[in-house]
Amino acid sequence: MSRQEALKAAEEAELDLVEISPNADPPVVKIIDWGKYQYQKEKEAQKSRRNSKQSELKQMRFGLKIGQGDLDIKLRKVREFLSEGHKVRIQIFYRGREMAHKELGYDMINKIGTLLEEEAVFEHTPTMAGRNLSVVVRKK
């Protein structure tokens, strides 16, 4: 069908002639109601935004002198966050003279990493910011 015939057919149907694939030989066009088409596309986009879950960055703080029971409880919560699809920032905070022994924080991060190695991976190496040592973990 020629271009003029296609335009005439669209005009008779009181609809719009829309080019679907311009690179094809000959180009592919469709006769549709452009306003209705745009409305449907917008509704689909809204529905997909509504259904998609936004991934948050959760945070879990650990002290250097944390007991094994407390560590287990916090790690259970971290696993729960990861299973929901969130990323988790693990933060080790130093109090007072603990800053003189920064290697203890790195040891704690490594211990947490080995306990979570089946479910999670570190996104980057641990970074020190002030009195906090932090790393972000995501689901494997």
Measured between alpha carbons, how far apart are the two ends of the chain, in Å? 54
pLDDT per residue over 60-94, tens digit each? 999 999 999 999 999 999 999 999 889 999 999 99
The tally of domains found in the chain comes to 2
Same domain flag for 29 and 65: no
Reading the block at residue 38, the tokens are 């745009």
Contact 87, 136 (CB under 8 A): yes
Beta strands in the chain (DSSP E): 16-21, 28-32, 57-63, 87-93, 120-122, 127-129, 132-139
Question: Residue 12: which domain range?
Answer: 3-51
CA distances (Å), origin 85, targets 49, 55, 96: 16, 6, 35
Q: What local confidence, expressed as pLDDT, does residue 18 receive?
A: 85
Q: Are residues 124 and 61 in the same domain?
A: yes
Coil, strand or helix: which one is 93? strand
Q: Which of 13, 30, 51 is the last residue of a domain?
A: 51
Average pLDDT over every residue of 110-124:
92
**Average pLDDT in the 107-119 region?**
92
96 & 135 share domain: yes
- How confident is the model at residue 105, as a pLDDT? 92
Between the alpha carbon of residue 56 and those of residues 11, 64, 86, 125, the distances in Å are 50, 26, 5, 20
